[in-house]
Structure 1
């Protein structure tokens, strides 16, 4: 495979292709306008499969795979930095399942889809895009711009689902979340710990929404999600305090 120097323009071009695969393939092959929760629980998303594969290919093509975060954490002691968001995600899962959980088949589908989304988004935003930004910019501009774009991309869920109000709340939550995710990726120098946390977090939120729908109650999504990610954002700011390189 030909190795690429990941610059910001190249990363933006990859992001455009990734977004087209995520939305376009799902719309063409899935058909119809579904809410995000219905899409995640309704079957394996072809768009998410294609987008995850594309992001993986671009990341693997990087000249510096260590900088892209494709290796194991540089220091296994750095994994302790992942414990707070991991435990927080587990707590969210326990809250989501407090009043029961969806059928096993639904949980399996949701688990597969949230894993695909976690791999796809972390490779695209914390591996490819963040690397492209760091090619020319310092840590904080790179983290803030990549996190902002992470949030902006989530607004297109309104186009896919028709619920633009929820998409805006989700966009704000994703931007805050992105700061924490990027900080931990930079400190551990690996994208994989946050793939696990990201997947668990999405799994907790989606199953919470499914449980609320089945009981006729309101879901914690999307408003509570913004408050839930504030600690993660502040944790990311703490981890990157004083960072210049």
Structure 2
């Protein structure tokens, strides 16, 4: 393994570790209660990982953002792909009125889209993006339920 390829994994892993600590210990995160058994929840989380984390990162970061970078530059590409990714989440996760759902998605998913877009532009490591996205979607209840016993 070359020094460059080692740095390609070690440097972003530090960023992922810091992000994970802040994400998991965030006092503003909402605890979710799922009314289903463990295996059903685990199966749903696995399907979500494949459909959401893998496909969204491949499309929005690797495919779309990379092409927009060539046409617009790095930061405009990050911003456009983040906004489009956020608007996509309005359609699939919106629960209120159109304006409220759009504002919520732009703030929540737009900020995460900026972070993931910057991470892609800087490190070009799709596997770490998929890992982070998968953790964002992963029901923390599957982890915390073991501590409630």
Same fold (TM over 0.5): yes
Report the Cα distance in structure 2 between the residues aligned to 1:101 and 1:194, rounded to whole angstroms: 29
Q: In the TM superposition, what is the alpha-carbon distance from 1:118 to its structure 2 partner? A: 0.6
CA offset digits 1:15-59 (Å, max 9, x no partner): xxxxxxxxxxxxxxxxxxxxxxxxxxxxxxxxxxxxxxxxxxxxx
Q: In the TM superposition, what is the alpha-carbon distance from 1:172 to its structure 2 partner? A: 3.0
Q: Does 1:113 align with 2:39?
A: no
Contact 2:45-2:139 within 8 A present in 1 as well = no
Q: Does 1:77 align with 2:10?
A: yes
Count, aligned residues: 132
Query: Alpha carbons of 1:170 and 1:126: their partners in 2 closer, same or farther (altered >3 Å)?
Result: same
Gaps of 5+ in 2: none
The structure 2 residue matched to 1:86, chosen from 20, 23, 27, is: 20
Contact 2:82-2:114 within 8 A present in 1 as well = yes
Q: In the TM superposition, what is the alpha-carbon distance from 1:193 to its structure 2 partner? A: 0.6
Report the Cα distance in structure 2 between the residues aligned to 1:138 and 1:152, rounded to whole angstroms: 21
CA offset digits 1:69-99 (Å, max 9, x no partner): xxx886222221222222234436x9737x8
Q: In the TM superposition, what is the alpha-carbon distance from 1:199 to its structure 2 partner? A: 1.0
**What pairs up with 1:212-227 in 2 under 5 angstroms?**
none
Contact 1:157-1:164 within 8 A present in 2 as well = no
* Structure with higher helix content: 2
Report the Cα distance in structure 2 between the residues aligned to 1:90 and 1:102, rounded to whole angstroms: 22
Q: Does 1:133 align with 2:71?
A: no
Report the Cα distance in structure 1 between the residues aligned to 2:136 and 2:6, rounded to whole angstroms: 21
Report the Cα distance in structure 2 between the residues aligned to 1:174 and 1:200, rounded to whole angstroms: 14
Higher relative contact order (CA 8 A, sep 6+): 2
Contact 1:134-1:142 within 8 A present in 2 as well = yes
SS of residue paired to 1:136: helix
**What pairs up with 1:204-219 in 2 under 5 angstroms?**
204=139
The structure 2 residue matched to 1:143, chosen from 78, 83, 86, is: 78
SS of residue paired to 1:96: coil
Contact 1:119-1:195 within 8 A present in 2 as well = yes
Q: 2:128 maps to which residue?
A: 193
SS of residue paired to 2:119: helix
Query: Alpha carbons of 1:77 and 1:131: their partners in 2 closer, same or farther (altered >3 Å)?
Result: same
Contact 2:86-2:110 within 8 A present in 1 as well = yes
Contact 2:68-2:77 within 8 A present in 1 as well = yes
More moved, 102-111 vs 139-148: 102-111
